[in-house]
Chains A and B, each alone.
Chain A
Amino acid sequence: MAEIFQVEIITPDRVFYSGSANMLEFNTESGEIGVYARHIPVTTVLRPGIVTIHEEGGEKKAAVHGGFAEILGDRVTLLAEQAEWPDEIDKERAEQAKERAEKRLKGKEENLDVLRAELSLKRALTRIELLK
């Protein structure tokens, strides 16, 4: 059995998750990574994606949008801007947001904030994927 370590996911409005896990998977700027205990200290920037927490008794999934992660040997802290459990996601709203963002990206309106549209598309896709 793998060693366990502390995991904390904190958003501006609440302590989203606090517990211990064997392994933690999440999406970063440079791709999806998995973290075990005794990882070397790394600070990395989060991208919208699914966080999978492998606990002793099973695994938990959540959508996390933006923020950064501080990985230390015995402790991983995700400071996220937003985080949601699957049952908190409104599927219809996510679908609508996805369509809206896609339309905006296709439409190529003038002074379109491409980065923002892409991010909101990414968020919507993460939410939809999590619900599957």
Chain B
Amino acid sequence: MASMKDIKRRRSSIQSTQQITKAMKLVSTVKFQKAKGRAEQVHPYFEHMYRSIVSILGRSDNISHPYLTAGESSRKAVVVMTANRGLAGGYNSNIVKLLTSQGFTKEDVDVYAVGSKGKEALAHRGYTIKADESEIMEAPNYNDAKALCDKVLESFSAGEVGEIYLVYTHFKNTVVHEPELVKLLPVEFSDEELEGKEESKLLMNYEPNPEEALNEIIPKYVTSLFYGALVEAVASENAARMQAMDNATNNAEEMIEDLSLKYNRARQGSITQELTEIIAGAEAIS
């Protein structure tokens, strides 16, 4: 049996860990509330943008545009959104796992890392890190998303990459957040999405002309997806950390209880032993 001193030391170390996890949980709860509010505000734009693009393309016949057809290059640009900090349960590793399980050839992937945890993990696995935009994750705003979008689209237009993907954590609600992989370019929608919608199949007109309009609209679409994904990722990150820290605090509580019980037993044991010794000594004298 461990000595009283050992148990005591162990218990106090767990106690201080618990204080840290508790504090981290409180901090991420506050951050999460903020991020959640933000995600809810951004959602309508995200949603409308998606719906508009579907409806615009659904009403257009056979427009050929560079953004709608795959580039010749077999390389893929993947924007990976993770956290800059760990201690968020499976949040970061789930994203990395999702990407590595896609069956993309490692050599053909250019990673645009947003979030240093994802960058480190993917660099370790041998992926090419094309750009590191991790500081965006601290406080994402629309202009950051735009800058990122410009960068990715530039390499698409230049023919360096043929497809653009986005990996991020979709924020469903406080407890459910799932990693998701979205294909951004070339823009593709399933036929059901395009068909199911339209009441009247009037053809869409473009001002000034389809080419120019799509030139403007598609980058905005991509930017809005980036922005929406950034905001959702921040919300998911904090929600994941909140849960992880809550679990850690609970586990610490359990261990402390267990150790307290052991400590009390050990203390009682040593008292009993002392008493038996004294009594035995007294009996021997008389």
Seen from chain A, the residues whose Cβ lies within 8 Å of a Cβ on chain B are: 8, 10-15, 28-30, 40-45, 67-68, 70, 72-73, 77, 79, 81
- Given the complex of chains A and B, what is the CA–CA distance between A79 and B136 in angstroms? 23
- Residues of B near A14 (CB, < 8 A) are 41, 44
Neighbouring B residues of A42 by C-beta, 8 Å = 204-207
User: Which are the 10 A-B pairs with shortest beta-carbon distances?
Assistant: A44-B207, A45-B216, A42-B205, A70-B52, A12-B142, A41-B204, A12-B45, A15-B44, A10-B45, A30-B208
Nearest-Cβ distance from residue B170 to partner chain A, whole angstroms: 18
Complex alpha-carbon distance, A45 and B59, angstroms: 17
Determine whether the beta carbon of A40 is less than 8 Å from that of B205.
yes
| Closest partner residue, chain B, to A67 (CB atom) | B220
Q: Given A42-B204, A44-B208, A68-B217, 15 other A-B contacts at CB below 8 A? A: A10-B45, A12-B142, A13-B41, A13-B42, A15-B44, A15-B45, A28-B207, A40-B205, A42-B206, A45-B216, A68-B220, A70-B52, A70-B55, A77-B48, A79-B45
Given the complex, which residues of B lie within 8 Å of A40, measured CB to CB?
A: 202, 205
User: Does residue B56 face the partner (Cβ distance < 8 Å to A)?
Assistant: yes
Which listed residue (A28, A41, A43) contacts B217, Cβ 8 A?
A43
Cα distance, A13 to B200, chains bound together (Å): 31
In contact, A41 and B45 (Cβ under 8 angstroms): no
Number of interface residues of B (CB under 8 A): 26
19 A-B Cβ contacts within 8 A? Answer: A12-B142, A13-B45, A14-B44, A29-B207, A29-B212, A30-B208, A41-B204, A41-B205, A42-B206, A43-B206, A44-B208, A45-B207, A45-B208, A68-B216, A68-B217, A68-B220, A79-B45, A79-B220, A81-B220
Residue from the list B44, B200, B205 in contact with A73, Cβ < 8 A: B200
Given known A13-B41, A40-B205, contact A45–B217 (CB-CB < 8 A): yes
What A residues does B216 contact at CB under 8 A?
29, 45, 68
- Smallest Cβ-Cβ distance to B231: which chain A residue: A12
Is there contact, CB below 8 Å, between B205 and A8?
no
- Interface: B147 (CB within 8 A): no
Report chain A residues within 8 Å CB of B206. 42-44
Q: Does B67 contact A (CB under 8 A)?
A: no
State the majority secondary structure of interface residues on A: strand
Q: How many A-B residue pairs have CB under 8 A?
A: 74
Closest-by-CB residue of A relative to B59 is A41
Distance in angstroms from A10 CB to nearest chain B CB is 5
Contact check: which of A10, A29, A67 meets B44 at CB < 8 Å?
A: A10
Within residues 49 to 64 of chain B, which ones have a CB less than 8 A from any CB in chain A?
A: 49, 52, 55-56, 59
Q: Are A29 and B208 in contact (CB under 8 A)?
A: yes
A-contact bits for B195-239, CB 8 A (1 contact / 0 none): 000001011111110001100110010001001000000000000
Are A68 and B213 in contact (CB-based, < 8 A)? yes
- Map CB proximity to A onto B157-180 as digits: 1 under 8 Å, 0 otherwise: 000000000000000000000000
User: Out of A13, A73, A79, which one reaches B49, CB within 8 Å?
Assistant: A79
Note all chain B residues with C-beta closer than 8 A to A28: 207
Residues of A within 8 A of B142 (CB): 12-13, 81
Contacts of A13 in B (CB 8 A): 41-42, 45, 142
Tell me, rounded to whole Å, the shortest Cβ–Cβ distance linking B272 to chain A: 69
